[in-house]
Amino acid sequence: MLRIAIQAKGRLNEDTMALLADAGIDVAQSKRKLIARAKGFPIEVLYLRDDDIPQAVHMGVADVGIVGLNEVAERGMAVDEVMRLGFGACRISLAVPREVDYPGLQWFEDRTVATSYPHVLRQFFADKGIHADIHEIAGSVEIAPAVGMADAIFDIVSSGGTLVQNGLREVEEVFYSEAALIARQGLDDDKLADIEKLKFRFNSIVSSRGYKYVLMNIPTALVDRAVQIVPAMRSPTILPLAAEGWCSMHVVIAEDVLWEKVERLKELGAEGILVLNLENMIP
């Protein structure tokens, strides 16, 4: 049986629990439990702080974990990245007070930078030849310049709203992160086989995101032209209708081009167009 470490609370916990549920893995949630058994897959769930997950996987306390790549990079633990999961996207960036005239990275020379990610920042500055005083802070990094603790900060940025509220502006994007499935190195063949099964389920869910399943009725004579508009993953499914001269076309379309494609199909002569959500898509 696999043991998976996940974030005990927070946004990654919510997204991870939703992913497990979509993969047919039912986990009984309890704020008082450290470990929970699951139904639908031979796995048990270990609830931890996100910054403890890389170490737990490295030490073998858990076989696999779901955690942000920022935590993996900061902890520096030897673990394998199995797959990226497409949620929890953010970046770790350098930010300076809004009024600062920022000429480039050299501005940070001999400055004090507050961060919760000293390892990642130290490596970045070393690569760029910048010598700065890195001041580690456990939380509320964004207030450091305002209270005189630092000249700038290095912190997670999602929308950038928190920076604006604290009179800061982002000047350098250093590290991109998202949630990933990680695994302990040196697992036995049985556990590796279970990880592949888990990865297969997760892949089918991640692959379906950003796509819609579209059905429409279209005159048979226009099918070839419609196929040129929506070539689909391999090719659309075409089924004859009871009405002579008409058929039904089934196709998967990426969300970012969905409405442009639907409008062109409508202009071509398609009718009764249905747009449905995809739960799983197995490549």
pLDDT score for 43: 94
Instruction: Round to whole Å and give the CA distance between 217 and 247.
Output: 6
3-class DSSP state of 12 = helix
* Rounded Cα gap, residues 154 and 138, in angstroms: 12
Q: Which helix (H) or strand (E) holds 177?
A: strand 168-177
Residue 161 has a pLDDT of 85
List all residues 6 or more positions away from 160 whose beta carbon is below 8 Å from its beta carbon: 170
Query: What is the second-level CATH architecture of the domain 211-277?
Result: 2-Layer Sandwich (3.30)
The pTM score is: 0.82
Instruction: Provide the CATH number for the domain formed by 2-87+178-208 in this structure.
Output: 3.40.190.10
Looking at residue 233, its pLDDT comes to 65
SS3 86: coil
Domain ranges of the chain: 2-87+178-208, 90-176, 211-277
Please tell me the predicted confidence (pLDDT) of residue 30.
61
Residue stretches of the chain with pLDDT short of 70 = 29-32, 231-233, 283
Q: Which residues of 137-173 are buried (b: 16+ CB within 10 A; e: fewer)?
A: beeebbbbbeeeebbbbbbbbeeeeebeebebebbbe
pLDDT value at position 283? 67
In this structure, whether the domain defined by 90-176 belongs to CATH 3.40.220.10 is answered with no
